[in-house]
Amino acid sequence: MTESVATIADAARHTTFVIIVNAAKHTVESPLVSYEQVVGIAYPTPPTPDTRFTVTYRKAVAPSREGSLVAGQSVEVKKEGTIFNVKATGRS
């Protein structure tokens, strides 16, 4: 296990993380937050089955302090204040 993975796993056992999704605070139990988790928080029931989503984030842990996520990707969040914007974009 690499040092950063060990640090992430240790942090996850001892704390929760407060993220902001579409301007609302939410608590997660892991410092790694996935595209799927964020979309599920923003849209517990998708508008239509074929809806696609654009997910952007900022104030995350370095080296990727800001960027975008696609299906299957995750980002390491700060203990409090990583911001996600999730937008339904329709079919691609």
Domains and CATH numbers, the chain: 3-90 (2.40.240)
CA 49 to chain centre: 21
Read off the pLDDT band of 1 (50, 70, 90). very low
For the chain, percent of residues with pLDDT exceeding 70: 82
Mean pLDDT score, 18-30: 97
* 27 pLDDT above the threshold of 80: yes
More confident residue, 75 or 49: 75
Question: How far apart, in whole angstroms, are the C-alpha atoms of residue 64 and residue 60?
Answer: 7
Other CB atoms within a 10 A radius of the CB of residue 84 amount to 26
Instruction: Give the pairing of strands 17-21 and 80-90.
Output: parallel
More confident residue, 8 or 23: 23
